[in-house]
Structure 1
Amino acid sequence: MIPEQKIGCIGLGHLGHTIARHLIDLGVPLTVWNRTASKAGDLGVPVATSPRDLIGHADIVIINLFDSDAVEGVLSGTEGLFSGSCSGKIIIDTTTNHFGRVGAFYAHAREHGCTYLECPVLGSVVPASQGKLTVLVSGDEAAYKSVKPLLSRIGSTLFYLGEPGLATKMKLVNNLVLGSFMATCAEAVALGEAAGVPRGEVIDILLAGAGNSMVLAAKKDKLKNGEFSAHFSSALIYKDLHYLQDLCRTLRKPLLVGSTVKEVFALARSKGIDDLDFSAIYEVFREF
């Protein structure tokens, strides 16, 4: 338990809902808010009427949203967090943001008397359900130390990077590897199958050989069964790689592999399957 602290959660998509469920199972008292209120129906905890309402009931607010536009709306919208009673509160933002937007989130939080922490997470629904995410943290060190017990219930590995912006930038770099591995594994499975090896056997051979990775191990059942309900969607990795392209432009660095991988996931978008798990990119390769 986190003594004497009231926790709020905003954003009940696949990952946000799983984080909230895990905390509830650990006995952490939560109040939640989601744009679609029905997504909170199975949690059995109080549901706020707005972000403004929620921060009146919480000392710490965990945000997990799709992108920086959504974060901006939750923070600064008409009924946003900053329109409520924010003084002394801490906002933990686990969203994968655009690196160019987080500076304003820090500044606006200070203007409203609260503290903003960047806390993007590595991992998806399965490790989130076990409290085994990896959490990257930037922002005020004292605030980080005060919420570290809570973060340790979300993630088994924490990295404190200090300087604002670094956690977000490192998350984008991590997702270059994530997206590239997934695209390569999916293409390899499709090629092996086309060559005449049964799909399941292709996957087992890859896991015993050069394809052995956390990514393929996590997605092997989805690929074997053709069941692509979203844990981490193609829409999210496409967004993250777009943000990474922007980062590389500011660094005056080329993004050679990542730009190609981004366009692979653009094919999922063009086929209308970008709301499925990003392992569904296999279906794109299979159709070539």
Structure 2
Amino acid sequence: MTDLAFIGLGIMGAPMARNLVRAGFTVTGYDLDAAAVARLAEDGGKAAGSIADAIHGAEIVITMLPADPHVEAVVLGEGGVFETIKPGTLFIDFSTIKPETSQKVAEAGAHQGVRVLDAPVSGGEAGAVNAVLSIMAGGIRADFDAAKPVFDAVGKVAALVGPHGAGQVVKAANQLVVGGTYALVAEAIVLLEASGVDARAGLDVLAGGLAASRILELKRESMLARDFRPGFRIDLHHKDMGIVLDAARQAGVSLPFGHQVAALVQAARAQGLGDSDHSALLSVVERLSGREGN
């Protein structure tokens, strides 16, 4: 058994922490939401009243936080992880943030003798609940190997993709592809329905051919039903598209379709869909075609 601290028990962090408990780890959790901490304790974890309490005695410290400001505050800020963490501890950040923020965290960790991995995940809430997340890690091989039991408990696929910050670049690429695929599936639905075609039958055919994708497999029924209950919210994808465009600027490359996808996601937020699933891009495409409510 290994003692873990898990900080950030939100829509992704809570099921991930629960799966680590089920895998046999001793998990002490902390979150600003006391109810989330209490639920972890009910699931067999331990409750902490502060970051320092959570990481006391932990061999591995994990964070799963919404965005860059939260990571900077919780990890690097006053009363944060790096004020208390001991040298030699393995620190894994599952948050999706800018590559340069992950690099900043890694540099701070190196000054304190802390081993650091950035390890953003893909798979949404369902992937977290079912422990089938895809994990893209940045760091060094020895630390990745040490983290393997953790990755195996929460995910299906894990890969070391490069140095510190590389995991975030791969996650940005993932969100670019996911957002673009949702946008194109949305356009396909609008085209099929406006043409008087059986959209369900049409998408079934697409899902069995070269156009097949995980999104078509898992989301075509809910999109046809206009069921946009959040598995991954538009607000979060908006944040991620900002990371995509920022990474493109840093790399000096042009992502013309990426800018269009970012604009569609922004339009969804402007239309009040921020708390809806990112498949709600269908609503944006419908409004562009004057077909909302059809």
Per the normalisation by structure 1, the TM-score is 0.91
Matched residues in 1 for 2:29 and 2:124: separation? 20
The answer to whether residue 45 in structure 2 is matched with residue 40 in structure 1 is no
Q: Indicate conservation of the 8 Å contact 1:12/1:40, yes or no.
A: yes
Cα shift readout 1:171-199 (whole Å, capped 9, x = no counterpart) = 21122111100111122223322333455
Matched residues in 1 for 2:222 and 2:25: separation? 32
Cα shift readout 1:188-212 (whole Å, capped 9, x = no counterpart) = 2233223334554443343234542
Aligned Cα root-mean-square deviation (Å): 2.0
Q: Indicate conservation of the 8 Å contact 1:52/1:82, yes or no.
A: no
Matched residues in 2 for 1:103 and 1:153: separation? 25
Q: Indicate conservation of the 8 Å contact 2:59/2:89, yes or no.
A: yes
Aligned residue for 1:13? 10
Residue correspondence of structure 1 range 67-86 to structure 2 within 5 A: 67-86=67-86
Q: What are structure 1's unaligned runs of at least 5 residues?
A: none
Aligned residue for 2:149? 149
Cα shift readout 1:112-162 (whole Å, capped 9, x = no counterpart) = 332211111222222322322221112132222212122122222221124
Quick check: 230-239 or 67-76, which moved more?
Answer: 230-239
Q: Indicate conservation of the 8 Å contact 1:14/1:230, yes or no.
A: no
Quick check: 41-50 or 257-266, which moved more?
Answer: 41-50
Matched residues in 1 for 2:235 and 2:32: separation? 19
The answer to whether residue 26 in structure 2 is matched with residue 29 in structure 1 is yes
Aligned residue for 2:166? 166
Length, aligned pairs only: 285
Call closer, same or farther: CA 1:196–1:142 in 2, change over 3 Å.
Answer: same
Call closer, same or farther: CA 1:90–1:224 in 2, change over 3 Å.
Answer: same
Quick check: 79-88 or 251-260, which moved more?
Answer: 79-88
Matched residues in 2 for 1:178 and 1:51: separation? 33
Q: Indicate conservation of the 8 Å contact 2:37/2:48, yes or no.
A: no
Query: Percent identity at matched positions?
Result: 29
Call closer, same or farther: CA 1:54–1:249 in 2, change over 3 Å.
Answer: same
Matched residues in 1 for 2:269 and 2:102: separation? 26
Call closer, same or farther: CA 1:27–1:190 in 2, change over 3 Å.
Answer: farther
Aligned residue for 2:292? none
Aligned residue for 2:230? 230
Cα shift readout 1:200-248 (whole Å, capped 9, x = no counterpart) = 4443343234542112212224213333222211122222221121121
Q: What are structure 2's unaligned runs of at least 5 residues?
A: 289-294
Residue correspondence of structure 1 range 138-217 to structure 2 within 5 A: 138-197=138-197, 199-209=199-209, 211-217=211-217
Local SS of the residue matching 1:100 = helix
Give the deviation of 1:90 after TM superposition: 1.3
Q: Indicate conservation of the 8 Å contact 2:185/2:216, yes or no.
A: yes
Q: Which amino acid aligns with 1:22?
A: N
Q: Indicate conservation of the 8 Å contact 1:15/1:64, yes or no.
A: yes
> Runs of 4+ in structure 1 displaced over 6 angstroms?
none
Local SS of the residue matching 1:31 = strand
Matched residues in 2 for 1:18 and 1:228: separation? 21
Q: Indicate conservation of the 8 Å contact 2:76/2:105, yes or no.
A: no
Local SS of the residue matching 1:61 = strand
